[in-house]
């Protein structure tokens, strides 16, 4: 099948590459010339495990191509995927300008039946706006070509994106026209072999399913973070509580890890956008607001602990920080808790020696002139002479480090662990002052 993908970010690149891997003829379009040039040279602009090899292999086989030529893109694919960004606007609502720009482009060039598939995360009603934008551009040209607009939200997780796309839990398709339903079923047949993972529904329900899923997951995390703060005050250990709760299959073990807050390009913006949608529909989203507020507070939790420990004087102190990315196995630092923590430390006059296996280039790009940031060659380099270690991301390499070496390198053996990687009792026995999240040590005077 011939497929065009608009947008070569995390979603567009993974979608395009995986469809090509299934034997389709895929053309990816982006307005970012530098990015397309890089991709045509075989360079992958993001870190996503498995992507580079799969992309190279499909480019070699001629099934995957990249261009900035939107007209060529519209001419190519019977399926026109929209996978461009929908960043938050100032009021928290989703900025649809990129999505609607692609819709207009399709309307300007369409000359045969097309299924326009919206893969970007967009508020309920966006498919209608995409439809109207295509129609308007077609009418301006005086042409009338049949097309369908379908909602097909994406559920991949960064760091596991290829696996999530190739073996999805479910494929949600919102489509009204039976012809478009049939085409979408054929398109996804290779990813739908053992159980039927395709769930068809009306377009608006599909659009809402995406926000509902992300908001539910974010709610689980904020709930656990709220409980972790309570556990600290009550002298309980949230890790024991988590194990106890997770063993109930109605609750489950997934997404109940307390930490230094959720980040990334999706949960923060999608919770806010859904709350905004609710307000526009004259509904007060009390739970969603609380999920967001708890997360905002949680990202500052370790900073309060650190301030408390150092008696509110961080001037000229140096902190080692492990993990810049918002989660392991990605180089993405969008909304990462590490950023909130580093920025607060810099504001207080401290310096940060940071290490991340993949996100250091991104940190250098985000903070080019920050004198308080030093990017280090290894986790141990970062510790040299630091007053304490702060852990923001649970990369595998941080799970079983050489604690003796760490103690020797740190000028004070103090660890603020935002991901509960270690056993507090063992850390105490190893001579560390160790603070996790929700583990029976309260700094409630400061919270």
Ligand X SMILES: O=c1ccn([C@@H]2O[C@H](COP(=O)(O)OP(=O)(O)O[C@H]3O[C@H](CO)[C@@H](O)[C@H](O)[C@H]3O)[C@@H](O)[C@H]2O)c(=O)[nH]1
Ligand Y SMILES: NC(=O)c1ccc[n+]([C@@H]2O[C@H](COP(=O)([O-])OP(=O)(O)OC[C@H]3O[C@@H](n4cnc5c(N)ncnc54)[C@H](O)[C@@H]3O)[C@@H](O)[C@H]2O)c1
The binding site for NAD(+) comprises: 30, 35, 86, 121, 158, 269, 334
Give 6 or 395: the residue with its C-beta nearer to ligand X: 395
| Cβ–Cβ under 8 Å, residues 415 and 205 | no
- Of 2, 13, 14, the C-alpha closest to 35 is 13
User: Judging by beta carbons within 10 Å of its beta carbon (0-12, 13-18, 19+), is residue 224 exposed, middle or buried?
Assistant: buried
Q: Which of 22, 25, 32, 442 binds ligand Y (CB under 6 A)?
A: 32
Q: Which of 12, 328, 372, 379 binds ligand Y (CB under 6 A)?
A: 12
Q: Does 314 participate in binding ligand X (rule CB under 6 A)?
A: no
- Of 28, 35, 38, the C-alpha closest to 6 is 28
267 binds, among ligand Y, ligand X, none (CB under 5 to 8 A by kind): ligand X
147 binds, among ligand Y, ligand X, none (CB under 5 to 8 A by kind): none
> Please, which residues bridge with residue 373 across strands?
352
Which of the residues 18, 260, 266, 392 is marked catalytic? 266
Q: Which of residues 279-298 bind ligand Y (CB under 6 A)?
A: none
- Known catalytic membership, residue 18: no
221 binds, among ligand Y, ligand X, none (CB under 5 to 8 A by kind): ligand X
| Cβ–Cβ under 8 Å, residues 330 and 359 | yes
Q: How far apart are CA 127 and CA 377, in angstroms?
A: 47
Q: Site map for ligand Y, 130-169, x if CB under 6 A?
A: ------------------------x-x-x-----------
Q: How far apart are CA 7 and CA 83, in angstroms?
A: 5
Q: How far apart are CA 171 and CA 152, in angstroms?
A: 7
Query: What's the min distance (Å) between Cβ of 277 and ligand X?
Result: 15
Q: Which residue is nearest to ligand X (CB)?
A: 266
| Cβ–Cβ under 8 Å, residues 431 and 272 | no
DSSP label at residue 189: G
Give 47 or 262: the residue with its C-beta nearer to ligand X: 262
Q: Which of 47, 257, 310, 432 binds ligand X (CB under 6 A)?
A: 257
| Cβ–Cβ under 8 Å, residues 361 and 331 | yes
Q: How far apart, in Å, do the first and last CA atoms of the chain sit?
A: 56
For strands 79-82 and 64-67, give the pairing: unpaired
Q: Does 326 participate in binding ligand X (rule CB under 6 A)?
A: yes
Residues at the site binding ligand Y, with contacts judged by CB under 6 A: 6-12, 29-32, 35, 83-86, 98, 101-102, 120-121, 154, 156, 158, 265-266
Residues at the site binding ligand X, with contacts judged by CB under 6 A: 121, 154-158, 214, 217, 221, 255-257, 259, 262-264, 266-267, 326-327
Q: Which residues carry out catalysis?
A: 266
């Amino acid at each position: 099948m011939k497929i065009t993908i608009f947008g070569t970010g995390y979603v567009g690149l993974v979608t395009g590459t995986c469809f090509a891997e299934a034997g389709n003829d895929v053309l990816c379009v982006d307005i970012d010339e530098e990015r397309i040039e890089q991709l045509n040279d075989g360079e992958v602009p993001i870190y996503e495990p498995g992507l580079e090899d799969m992309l190279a292999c499909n480019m070699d086989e001629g099934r995957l191509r990249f261009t900035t030529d939107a007209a060529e893109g519209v001419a190519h694919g019977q399926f026109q995927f929209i996978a461009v960004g929908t960043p938050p606007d100032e009021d928290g609502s989703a900025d649809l300008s990129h999505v609607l720009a692609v819709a207009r482009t399709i309307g300007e060039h369409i000359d045969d039946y097309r299924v326009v598939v919206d893969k970007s995360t967009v508020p309920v009603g966006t498919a209608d706006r995409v439809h109207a934008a295509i129609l308007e551009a077609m009418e301006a040209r005086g042409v009338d070509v049949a097309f369908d607009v379908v909602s097909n939200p994406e559920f991949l997780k960064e760091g596991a994106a290829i696996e999530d796309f190739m073996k999805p839990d479910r494929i949600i398709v919102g489509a009204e026209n039976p012809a478009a339903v049939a085409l979408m079923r054929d398109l996804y047949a290779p990813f739908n072999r053992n159980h039927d993972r395709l769930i068809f529904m009306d377009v608006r329900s599909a659009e809402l399913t995406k926000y509902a899923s992300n908001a539910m997951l974010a709610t689980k995390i904020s709930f656990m973070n709220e409980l972790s703060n309570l556990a600290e005050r009550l002298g309980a250990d949230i890790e024991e509580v988590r194990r106890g709760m997770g063993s109930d299959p109605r609750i489950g073990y997934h997404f109940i890890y307390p930490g230094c807050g959720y980040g990334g390009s999706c949960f923060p913006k999608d919770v806010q956008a859904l709350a905004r949608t609710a307000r526009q529909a004259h509904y007060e989203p009390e739970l969603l607001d609380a999920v967001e507020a708890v997360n905002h507070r949680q990202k500052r939790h370790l900073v309060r602990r650190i301030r408390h420990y150092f008696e509110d004087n961080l001037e000229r102190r140096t902190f080692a920080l492990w993990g810049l990315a918002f989660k392991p196995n990605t180089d993405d630092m969008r909304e990462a808790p590490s950023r909130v923590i580093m920025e607060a430390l810099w504001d207080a006059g401290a310096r940060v020696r940071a290490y991340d296996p993949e996100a250091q280039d991104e940190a250098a790009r985000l903070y080019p002139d920050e004198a308080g940031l030093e990017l280090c060659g290894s986790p141990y380099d970062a510790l040299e002479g630091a007053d304490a270690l702060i852990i923001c991301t649970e990369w595998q390499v941080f799970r079983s480090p050489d604690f003796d070496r760490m103690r020797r390198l740190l000028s004070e053996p103090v660890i603020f662990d935002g991901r509960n990687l270690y056993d507090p009792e063992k850390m105490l026995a190893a001579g560390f002052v160790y603070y996790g999240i929700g583990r029976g040590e309260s700094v409630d005077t400061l919270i």
